[in-house]
A and B are shown apart, each in its own frame.
Chain A
Amino acid sequence: MVYSSELIKGTLKTILLKLLADNKKMYGYEITQRVREVSGDRIQITEGALYPTLHAMEADGLVTTEVEYIGKRMRKYYSLSPAGKAATRERVKELSAFMQTMALLLDIQPKTA
């Protein structure tokens, strides 16, 4: 099952922050592939959602960038800034609390073996 874009939209920034926290520096395509791999293809980040979010995060000072030239084209690597590291902790904590609240609200019982 692939999760809907509406569900992913609200959590995209948190996903990107956590991914960058775990992987030092990444470029766009690498991010989409890593998310697919970790989520077992259930989360598919589109280019149309990924790049605007990365640009906004860069403008917010959450990520820093470095550029590598491959012939005539440019590859942009993203890594977390100190502010981004602090934001990651906050966002993950907030999302975790939100998920617990949603579980209560929707009366979802955790699966037991």
Chain B
Amino acid sequence: MFPINDQHIDFVLRDLDANGIKTPDLQQNLLDHICILAERDLAEGDDFYVYYRSAILSFYREELAEIETETRFLLRHRRPWLLLSRSWFLCGLFVVLVGPFIAFALLWLLRMGRLPLEVWGGTLIFMQFPFLVWLVIALTPDRFDPLLPKGAKVLLGWRPIISIL
């Protein structure tokens, strides 16, 4: 196996940087890749620098900097990560719209003396869920499904309050 030394590493890092690879992680990934290729293909005594010049050509089409450009492009245009999937959102919407009415009915039944305390306790917990859904959506607008209309967030927030009032 060809021995890679610190001079080789410094040379590669300098060359990557000079040719437009500025992201440190990307530099390290490419450095490791090149070193593995050299260790695989070169015999002891071979010229690392000549090998590097030819090997690096297979990494790009026109210029090395296109790897950096592609990385930045993908980081800029990556798909927003969703905290709520569409199905969970619809479940939440159902609970928000119907929950207060169920809670009201249960409260009415309790007043009539027909519900045990455990059910009433459960209802209290259940009533918190719409507000939790609203909080999550309000605090993480960048993680909300962009296909859903913005107005839905407003509806979600105010519907249970209006219902309770």
Contact = CB atoms under 8 A, between A and B. Distances in A.
Interface of A: 27-29, 46-49, 51-56, 59-61, 70-76, 83
A27 B32 contact: yes
A76 B31 CA distance: 11
Nearest to B40: A29
B59 interface: yes
A59 B59 contact: no
Interface size range of chain B in the complex: 20 to 34
Contacts of A60: 78-79, 81
A52 B81 CA distance: 18
Given A47-B59, A56-B75, A72-B6, 4 more contacts: A51-B26, A55-B71, A73-B35, A76-B29
A29 B36 contact: yes
B30 interface: yes
Nearest to B70: A52
Interface string B15-26: 000000001011
Given A47-B59, A53-B74, A71-B4, A29 B67 contact: no
Contacts of B25: 55, 76
Contacts of A29: 32-33, 36-37
A72 to B, nearest CB: 5
A64 to B, nearest CB: 14
25 contacts: A27-B32, A29-B32, A29-B33, A29-B37, A46-B58, A47-B33, A47-B67, A48-B60, A48-B66, A49-B70, A51-B26, A51-B30, A51-B67, A53-B74, A55-B25, A56-B75, A56-B78, A59-B78, A72-B6, A72-B9, A73-B9, A73-B31, A73-B32, A74-B28, A83-B81
B61 interface: yes
B85 to A, nearest CB: 10
A53 B26 CA distance: 11
Instruction: Rank and list the top 4 A-B pairs by shortest CB-CB distance, nearest first.
Output: A56-B74, A52-B71, A52-B70, A74-B28
Most chain A CB atoms below 10 A, which of B26, B74, B75:
B74
